[in-house]
Amino acid sequence: MGDSKICAMKQKLKDQLGSAVGDSRFVVVVFLDIRGFSTFAKLAESSESAVFLKSAYTSIMDDFFNEASFFKPTGDGLLVILDYEEETLREVVQTAIGTSVRLVEAFPTICAEDPMVNFEVPGKLGIGVARGAATRLSSEGEVLDYSGRPLNLAARLMDMARPSGVIFSDALGLGLLDEDLLTQFEAAGVYVRGLAEDEPMSVHYLADRTVIEDIYMRPLHRTHVHAEPVQEKTIRELEQMGSHRFGLSKEPVDRNRIKLVARFPKPTPSGRKSSLLSVTEASGTYGEDADGSHVRVSMPALARRIKEKGAKSTWKGKLRLEYVVADE
């Protein structure tokens, strides 16, 4: 985009903000996130990423949420706003949840009819839904943005909906949903950063698609990162360790987020060892046996990733296993 167009866009936004006014609206917020998009974007051509987003967003707006009052792209996702009044509350809530479920189910083939999309694309979607009063910012009849607690909550819940699925707070109104729709969901109590850190919030999640991670099941102020003793190894030693067992001295809060942090010297432009450190992380597979809980990490795979950064087999680095544990 040329400098003149950027300046014009900047001036238009400044003019709009200068005359902007805020008003309170009752809204149902739907936050969507395309799972795996960042990895897809790294491997795909930039034009393919753009074509996929254009096709997916267009279908979401036209075929699913065509009656929404506001849309906003969020990089690898979309913000959808549905206004409601007292007389339309039940219909809007039912539509938001029912449409979200249909969209998650249909997303793997959402671009199937688009001849431009002849490449493999992400097929999973995470959705968070919340409702309440939000501030609408508008200028001369054009809505610029929304803000407020329901947007923050929907975004937090969206992040929990992994590997895919739909999550909504019970405050959305369980009695507003048809029984056949509600039976697709299971209940849980979760802790939400900035919104429910010490007492759990009741939520419902799509049972056949979502697994809520352990980290959301404990108070957020009562955990800390625990590190096992540091080990020193050369890259050659890592290559010879195979799938290595690391014992855990404490019980992890989230068994899926245990990582081995490797710190090795960075190479200089000439290939020599420098005093600067390069950090490489590897995830472990949790397990339990007669000797206690542990994780297994593929050390040859870790060694390959370190060597790809230019480090040599004889260089020695430090390894440290890190994971979140509950405060004692």
Tell me: do 169 and 253 sit in the same domain.
Answer: no
Whole-prediction pTM: 0.69
Tell me: do 272 and 161 sit in the same domain.
Answer: no
Tell me: do 255 and 180 sit in the same domain.
Answer: no
d(CA 247, CA 143): 55
Amino acid found at 206: L
pLDDT for residue 14? 73
Find the radius of gyration of the CA atoms of the chain.
24
Secondary structure (3-state) at 286: strand
Q: What is the pLDDT of residues 45-65, one digit of tens each?
A: 889 999 999 999 999 999 999
pLDDT for residue 106? 97
d(CA 216, CA 49): 32
Reported residue count of the chain is 328
260 in Cβ contact with 281 (< 8 Å): yes
Tell me: do 317 and 188 sit in the same domain.
Answer: no
189 in Cβ contact with 149 (< 8 Å): no
Tell me: do 208 and 305 sit in the same domain.
Answer: no
Tell me: do 249 and 131 sit in the same domain.
Answer: no
Tell me 240's DSSP state. H
Tell me: do 81 and 205 sit in the same domain.
Answer: yes
Whether 234 maps to a domain, the answer reads yes
Residue carrying structure tokens 């200089």: 268
Whether 126 maps to a domain, the answer reads yes
When divided into structural domains, the chain yields a total of: 2
d(CA 91, CA 107): 23
Residues of the chain falling short of pLDDT 50: none
Residue 156, CB half-sphere, CA atoms under 13 Å: how many? 19
pLDDT for residue 181? 96
d(CA 203, CA 169): 4
Angle at 129 between CA 173 and CA 201, to 5 degrees: 65
How many other C-beta atoms can be found within 10 angstroms of the C-beta atom of residue 309?
13
Report CA 157 to chain centroid distance, whole Å: 9
- By C-alpha distance, which of 108, 214, 106, 224 is closest to 160? 214
Residue where a domain terminates, one of 177, 212, 247: 212
Look at strands 70-73 and 196-206 and give their pairing: unpaired
Angle at 193 between CA 190 and CA 196, to 5 degrees: 55
pLDDT for residue 54? 94
Q: Which residues are CB-neighbours of 52 under 8 A, at least 6 positions away?
A: 40, 44, 111, 117, 121
Question: Could you tell me which residues are beta bridge partners of residue 279?
Answer: 263
pLDDT for residue 15? 67
- By C-alpha distance, which of 308, 299, 310 is closest to 262? 299
Tell me: do 236 and 305 sit in the same domain.
Answer: yes
pLDDT for residue 9? 65
Domain interval for residue 152: 20-212
Handedness of CA 156, 159, 162, 166 (dihedral sign): positive
What is Dmax (Cα atoms) for the chain?
A: 72
Tell me: do 134 and 265 sit in the same domain.
Answer: no
pLDDT for residue 2? 57
Region of 202 on the Ramachandran plot (φ > 0 left; ψ -120 to 50 alpha; else beta): beta
Tell me: do 67 and 104 sit in the same domain.
Answer: yes
Strands (E), the chain: 21-35, 70-73, 77-83, 124-139, 142-147, 165-169, 185-192, 196-206, 223-227, 231-234, 243-247, 259-267, 273-283, 285-289, 292-298, 316-326
Whether 2 maps to a domain, the answer reads no
